[in-house]
Chain A
Amino acid sequence: MAPPAKRKRTLSAPAIFRGTALYVFLFICLFVFAFPLVWLFYSSFKTQPEIFENAFALPKQLNIANYLHIWGSGSFGRYYLNSILVSTVSVAGILALSTMAGYVFARVRFRYREVLFTVLLAGMMIPSQVTLIPNFILLRNVNLLDSYAAMILPYIAFQIPVSVFIMRGFFKELPVEMEDAAYMDGCGKKGIFFRIMLPLSKPALSTITIYNFFTVWNELIFALTFTNSQKYRTIPVGIMDFVGQFETDYGYIFAALASASIPLLIVYFFAQKQIIKGLTAGAVKG
């Protein structure tokens, strides 16, 4: 029961005040959320004495020595390559397995389909931490500890439930007419999947690619537990080793921290909409 206030578009004093308060609030939030990132980025171009002299000041010149040093030092580049390799292969595996399973759950009728789907969905409730020890023992028993496969296989397994859920939802929305036509032409179920469904599913594929790429790129606890040599370590664990090694060489560390996110940031500024969709896609299940 609001009072029938006169809603005019003139700016009264309280309205101006409210408007100002709004922007003050938003800019405070902007500072809190963005300043640490901006600070890290410009600090990574400072020399060690500059950092100690004034931690807030902008760099006197764009000094890329820190970056040259860490990228030239061998191990950091190795972590980066490992991360790229592990993320790419994992995402490819997730895409392959979850599109196939998503298609079957959306379009192929058979008994126990819904039961199987529910069983798979239940996996979204299993925290990876719970499986850490058994997976470590398993990988050790089959001699896979400290290898790329030790990360890639569990990564694929853990991303399957949510990815299948997204793909199934997408396939269900596609019109059935085209399939029927292909059916008439004697196309089998597999043919329909590869020739009709897959080419149509680009939007969903990009969503799960982004979601899974970010998840895998950031994954820490499996990478930490299932690898122990520099040869296989990915960026998250590599950064921990790196910081332990350079502890007070702030310039190097800042450059390393900034480098760790650069691929993610670049993708973000080019494909913001898709990323937001992709990263929140995992939340669609209520």
Chain B
Amino acid sequence: MTMRRRLSGDTLSTVLLFLIPAFALYAVFLVVPVFQSFRYSLFRWDGLSPLDRFVGLGNYKELLGDPVFWKSLANNSILLVFSLITQLPVAILLAVLLTDKVRMKGLFRTMFFAPQIISTVAAGYMFYYIYEPTFGILNQLLRALNLGSLAKGWLGDTNLALYAVLFVISWRFVGFYMVLFMASIEGMPVEIFEAATMDGCGKWMIVRKITLPMLRDTIKTACVLSIVGSIKYFDLIWVMTQGGPAHASELIATYMYKKTFLSWDVGYGSALAFTLFAIAFVLSSVFMKSTKSESGGKSMRKGRAR
């Protein structure tokens, strides 16, 4: 169906000139480092002396016996599950409500999305001061409501610290997913909803039988984003607790950072980094595979055949 064009000088020079800069940076800062990361993980190394103490899979063996690694992995899993069960349902609910007839829609949408707009680090410290035990407004609010017994040292409590930060992460991301779902719902053909209403379907029925099934691909996308995001997460934990107290909110990424740049155990840090990569890669490909075979193939390619 297409005319076969010979690789002319113009084509060749364009391809080279236009692709080489992008691929050069991509190779140097993304691709090679992944392999380097694995290579470093086979050594005991402080990052400065020559790279000559080869230990094979020794770092990985050590990892398996390291309680902090398991704690971090458990925390990453909690983060993953917590994100999936809080952010996505709330986001879908808000998206459904705000795409229906609601007054002040613009105000709600703007304000629900606003946490996504502010600087991550600033959001972290804002909540750090909201959670502050004595002057923080959360405890002050609880005391004012005569619930003083619920006032806690949120970020200093080993049982609460992780969840206190998880709340902030969800607070930031609900608006993002809401907007994603809203765009998807607004793109659905109006006729279907009209027809369903004519047939006497209630709102709840429409959501369950029409909106949710049609949101399937977007929900899938959101799940992948959420899974990968949870496994590599670093920012707000680092700002608010640095993984503390006593590793209670440690994540693989924060542990890797500490091991590498605070204890200069670079080989071990690399083993953590590579493990993180492997987990993210396996989980997201398994998830993609399982949902893809279910839906029976590539809906992505549709309409792009030109």
A binds B: yes
Hey, which bits of chain A sit against chain B, CB under 8 A?
2-5, 7, 22-23, 25-26, 29-30, 32-34, 36-37, 39-40, 51-52, 55-56, 96-98, 100-101, 103-104, 108-111, 116, 120, 123, 125-138, 153-154, 156-158, 160-161, 164, 169, 172-173, 188-190, 193, 214, 217-218, 220-221, 224-225, 235-237, 239-240, 243, 250, 253-254, 257-258, 260-261, 264-265, 268, 272, 275-276, 279-280, 283-286
Checking A23, A220, A268 against B120 with a beta-carbon cut-off of 8 angstroms, the contacting residue is A220
Chain B residues packing against A (C-beta within 8 Å)? 2, 5, 7, 10-15, 17-19, 21-23, 25-26, 28-34, 36-37, 40, 47, 94, 97, 102-103, 107-108, 110-122, 125-127, 129-130, 135-137, 140-141, 171, 174-176, 179-180, 183, 197, 199-202, 205, 217, 220-222, 224-225, 228, 231-232, 234-235, 238-239, 253, 256-257, 260-261, 266, 269-270, 273-274, 276-277, 280-281, 284, 299-300, 304, 306
Contact partners of B13 in chain A: CB under 8 A: 190
Q: Are A276 and B129 in contact (CB under 8 A)?
A: no
The verdict on A5 contacting B200 (CB below 8 Å), with A32-B171, A97-B22 known, is yes
Q: Are A225 and B261 neighbours in the complex by a CB distance under 8 Å?
A: yes
A33-B115, A157-B28 known; A40 and B126 CB under 8 Å? yes
Given A164-B22, A190-B10, A224-B238, 10 new contacts (CB under 8 A): A2-B201, A2-B205, A37-B114, A55-B135, A131-B29, A133-B36, A134-B33, A169-B304, A220-B234, A268-B117
Give the distance in Å from the alpha carbon of A137 to the alpha carbon of B40 in the complex: 11
Interface centre among B21, B224, B256, B260 (most CB of A within 10 A): B21
How long is the Cα–Cα vector from A94 to B273 in the complex, in angstroms?
26
Q: How far, in angstroms, from A101 to B15 measured CA to CA in the complex?
A: 8
Bound CA span A225–B225, Å? 25
Contact B135 A280 (CB under 8 A): no
- Looking at chain B's contact residues, the main secondary structure is helix
Q: How far is the CA of A268 from the CA of B175 in the complex (A)?
A: 14
Asked whether, in the complex, the Cβ of A120 is within 8 Å of the Cβ of B122, the reply is: no
Bound Cα distance from A286 to B223, whole angstroms: 10
Known: A33-B175, A97-B22, A133-B260. A2 touches B202 (CB 8 A): yes
Q: A129-B253, A172-B306 are in contact. Are A55 and B117 (CB under 8 A)?
A: no
